[in-house]
Amino acid sequence: MGCEPKPQPINYGSDECAYCRMMITDAEFGSQIVNNQGRAYKFDSVECMAAYDLTEDGENFHSKWVPNFLDREEWLNAEEAVYLHSETLRSPMGLFLSAYADRTSAEEMKDEYGGDIVDYEAVKQIVEREWLSNGSGGRQMMNN
């Protein structure tokens, strides 16, 4: 369908994260939520998108998108993607999350970097535990 809301291009180096307000610089982590009117809320990391997802009224959210870490031109539905949570593969906001198109790709990265393979619900639980339940909202990273 031609008018279906879809991911928008991110202008790396000039677009600002809708959650932490930092500049979006890394194509392998830039994520977005598209609302029912087609407006894209862009984020510098998977963790900022998940935090926004957890803290905002998602009633108007159409879809959530993450880049394939191995093919940064490919957008993946965030709720269908497979994630690696590895403390040796740093992400911009420090929760060590990267996204993959399938479990096989994530397993290959896990063999190289270690960590755990998780789904989007687990990503939100990590963000809730590491950022939101301590009251920082992840914004402590901006002060480091």
* Per-residue model confidence as pLDDT tens for the chain (144 residues): 457 899 999 999 999 999 999 999 999 999 999 999 999 999 999 999 999 999 999 999 999 999 999 999 999 999 999 999 999 999 999 999 999 999 999 999 999 999 999 999 999 999 999 999 987 776 555 444
Rounded CA-CA distance 138/48 in Å is 8
Q: What angle in degrees, to the nearest 10, is found between the helix axes of 46-55 and 120-127?
A: 80
pLDDT score for 139: 58
The confidence score (pLDDT) of residue 119 equals: 98
Using alpha carbons, select from 112, 89, 80 the residue that is nearest to residue 28. Answer: 89
Is residue 22 within 8 Å of 142, Cβ to Cβ? Answer: yes
DSSP state string for 85-123: E-TTS--TTSS-EEEESSHHHHHHHHHHH--EEE-HHHH
Here the tokens at position 129 are 């535990």
In sequence order, the 6+-apart residues with CB closer than 8 A to the CB of 139 are 20
> Would you say the pTM of this structure is higher than 0.85?
yes
Give me the pLDDT at residue 16, please: 97
